[in-house]
Amino acid sequence: MKLHTEKRMIETGAGRMKLIILRPSELAEKVPGILWIHGGGYSTGMAEMVHVSRGADAARRYGAVVISPEYRLSGQAPYPAALEDCYAALVWLKDHAEELGVRDDQIMVGGESAGGGLAAAVCMAARDRGEVNVAFQMPLYPMLDCRDTESSRNNHGKIWNTEKNHRGWQRYLGDLYGRTEVPPYASPARQTDYRSLPPAYTFVCRGEPFYAETLAYIRHLNEAGVEAAADVYPGDVHAFDEFLALTPEGRRARMLFRERFRYAAAHYFAPQKKQEDENHAH
């Protein structure tokens, strides 16, 4: 499917932020809208990375509308800057659903690595703030836990490892790094209440740092009654679906992601609150 790419500046609480918007050149009906968040350890990366992401797959193959925010990196501002930027993009997606041709009952959130961590955090913030109902989340091999886990401790995997992980968290958390009390919006593995979060799908490889925290996240969702699943692949290359795209594992990961997205688009809906309901709540 041919995509139209647009750059747009939106207002956030901290100023103006760039969005990359991917959408089909022609829309016969309204489609799911996806906030897709790039990775980079919270400290690197750019919105344009969406073009090689699984989010772009969903746009090309199934006609979804995808927005990718140029959120502030940790070198510009530590937590909660990135979270608030991404949350502002989510609210913008809901508010502009009609203009974009998006079904406002099928707003989804996804991302890879640190973007997957932000995707989980944004879903938690959306649930708790009550402004946007998210239908589905896709936090791929997400960076969720600022503490060492069984798989992130002494990890020498390719692309990402223990040393990079410590440095990434230290930059992102700033003064919170190393503290006992860290909010789940900063490190989603600190969440204690997983009820009413959106259904989820992810994948990860066994040898990479985020293996343990990824499976723990899915387990906690399941225990809270949330539909969630993870596919696990061999190897130790973080983001293998991109860096080893032509391997059997890379191909299979992309294929199964597409199947899961297609299922989600057919089965998961989260209608937004009516304006009068919101006014009554206040």
Cα 151 to Cα 209: distance, rounded to the nearest angstrom? 5
| Residue 116 confidence (pLDDT) | 98
The CATH fold of domain 3-179+197-275: Rossmann fold (3.40.50)
Smallest CA-to-CA distance from 267 within 96, 87, 108 is with 108
| Residue 281 confidence (pLDDT) | 52
Residue 269 carries which DSSP code? -
Task: Yes or no: say if 230 and 258 are a contact pair by the CB < 8 Å rule.
Answer: no
Residues 6+ apart with CB under 8 A from 4: 22, 23, 24, 25
Segments of the chain with pLDDT less than 50: 282
Domain boundaries, the chain: 3-179+197-275
Cα 77 to Cα 83: distance, rounded to the nearest angstrom? 11
